Amino acid sequence: MKDSLIIFDTTLRDGEQSPGASMTRDEKVRIARALERMKVDVIEAGFPAASQGDFEAVQAVADAIKDSTVCGLARALDKDIDRAGEALKGANSSRIHTFIATSPIHMAKKLNMQPDQVIEYAVKAVKRARQYTDNVEFSPEDAGRSEEDFLCRILEAVITAGATTLNIPDTVGYSMPQQFGAMIANLRQRIPNADKAVFSVHCHNDLGLAVANSLSAVMNGARQVECTINGLGERAGNASLEEVVMAIRTRQDFFQCDTRLDTREIVTCSKLVSSITGFPVQPNKAIVGANAFAHESGIHQDGVLKNRETYEIMRAEDVGWTTNRMVLGKHSGRNAFKTRMAELGVQFDSEADLNDAFFRFKQLADKKHEIFDEDLQALISEQSFEAEDEHIKLVALKVCSETGEVPNATVTILVDGKEVTGTATGGGAVDASLKAIESLVQTGATLALYSVNNITTGTDSQGEVTVRLENAGRIVNGSGADTDIVIASAKAYINAVNKLQSPDQRQHPQKGDV
């Protein structure tokens, strides 16, 4: 029998550390449920000590998830570990992940500690975490630039203290695959009690090598990989879950292990994370990009038609794509709509939610001839955005843009139940519309990002707009979708303003970079 490779997903923790990717508690629970459906082994839900909001999010995920282990991150400090233990009380299966830096530059410049002190803190942290759970993970932060002799010392000590998983992070994405794999092999060979713990890796993508380094580690005995959906994460991101999992699943002739994941859930989960964070998936992204299973070259098309395996090493269906899409339109009934949404992994909490979604679907179908899966995903995402603390709503928008004239916009919005109207001019229809909204809400925020993506093909495609607002160190994303790109832009801006002004939204905290 082949070994089982544990998949540790940190989308909700490290993925959220991408600037602008902060998630609400309810959004974290939605993603966690999607990960659970995919049969992810461990879900790192957040860093409970970072903020009250993060604590409540980890607590909510711990209460909601039944089949996956829920993990909380904690520095090697008593207060962090106690906070994590408290947040994870409701979990069926819990893990505390504690860490401390071990590279010379981190110990000297960041911690101002001697190596022996670092070991002392690490051992104490593991022992304290064991008071809450017997499933304890330890990470030597910046292991990729740490001295191997010191890593052996500290890892041997934490295993003795009760750590059951040793996670070796390439925190700054500095390692090369051959080098990183060799380090894993050396640690497993040199540490006397190495057989008492599972070796794990957590690789960053600063040089574009996160997946390669992770796979090299697996080849050298690592049996847990920490990764994120769509490769989301700090700076250039983490190892991409879908790439790691499918590389191992596709090349079973090469790897001596496999995962238990239901890979058919990958695309749905990817789209959900993309819509919640506002980070679009590039079309040529492996596995989950729109072009991942597309063929334009005549030679390729001919080969695939004769035998799929001439140009495809995986089946699109195995990762959640469908070759035959159910096309919904304005004549489709409520049952067909509900059935397709269920196939996409969307469950409605109540009949009212279903009725609201179906009403929106019918509105869209009157504007757009064919409704594709991507349209349905956007529709549900927009519904969830509006369900949040929405004290500002778009009522009406009128834009005038003609050659030789300065574009102008008149917008009417509802602010806490009261209609207000504003006008503005701008460099274009979108610019004028957003300035008109800003003249009414007066957030003073800077527009840090404006991104437009077509959800499907065709001139009647919905446009999905993402905006990022920044104000006094707070960063929020707003999303909106419509067949009219100007209206989609206004919706996205208002969605971001609602988040910016919501009392539940907190400044994006500085979290542990493991």
Is it the case that residue 277 has pLDDT exceeding 70?
A: yes
Burial degree of 404 (CB within 10 A; 0-12, 13-18, 19+) = exposed
Is there a binding annotation on residue 14?
yes
Q: pLDDT digits over 74-132, tens only?
A: 999 999 999 999 999 999 999 999 999 999 999 999 999 999 999 999 999 999 999 99
Q: Round to whole Å and give the CA distance between 145 and 387.
A: 45
Is there a binding annotation on residue 504?
no
Is it the case that residue 411 has pLDDT exceeding 80?
A: yes
Q: pLDDT digits over 289-330, tens only?
A: 877 776 545 565 567 567 767 767 788 788 887 653 445 677
**Residues above pLDDT 90, as percent of the chain:** 65
The string of DSSP letters for 398-441 reads EEE--TTS--EEEEEEEETTEEEEEEEE-SSHHHHHHHHHHHHH
Q: Are 506 and 51 in contact (CB under 8 A)?
A: yes
Q: CA torsion sign, 34 to 35 to 39 to 43? A: negative
Note the pTM of the prediction, 2 decimals.
0.76
Is there a binding annotation on residue 204?
yes
Domain ranges of the chain: 3-277, 293-324, 328-388, 392-501
Residue with tokens 């659970």: 36
Q: Has domain 392-501 been given CATH number 3.30.1300.10?
A: no
* pLDDT category of residue 176 using cuts at 50, 70 and 90: very high
Q: What angle do CA 340, 346, 350 make, to 5 degrees?
A: 105
User: What does the pLDDT read at residue 299?
Assistant: 62
Burial degree of 278 (CB within 10 A; 0-12, 13-18, 19+) = buried
The string of DSSP letters for 135-194 reads -EEEEEETGGGS-HHHHHHHHHHHHHHT--EEEEEETTS---HHHHHHHHHHHHHHSTTG
Q: Has domain 3-277 been given CATH number 3.20.20.70?
A: yes
Maximum separation of any 2 CA atoms in the chain, in Å: 78
Q: pLDDT digits over 136-159, tens only?
A: 999 999 999 999 999 999 999 999
Q: CA torsion sign, 175 to 181 to 184 to 187? A: negative
Mean pLDDT across the chain: 89
What are the C-alpha distances in Å from 314 to residues 41, 246, 317, 473? 23, 8, 9, 44
Q: Are 316 and 300 in contact (CB under 8 A)?
A: no
Residues 166-191, mean pLDDT to the nearest whole number: 98
DSSP class of residue 134 equals S
Q: Round to whole Å and give the CA distance between 259 and 244.
A: 10
Q: Which residues of 492-510 are buried (b: 16+ CB within 10 A; e: fewer)?
A: bbbbbbbbbbeeebeebbe
Q: pLDDT digits over 350-390, tens only?
A: 888 888 888 888 888 887 666 766 677 777 766 665 555 57
Is there a binding annotation on residue 238?
yes
Q: Are 28 and 229 in contact (CB under 8 A)?
A: no
Half-sphere exposure of 76 (CA within 13 A, CB side): 24
Residue 276's region, left for phi above 0, alpha for psi from -120 to 50, else beta, is alpha
Select the more confidently predicted residue: 56 or 318. Answer: 56
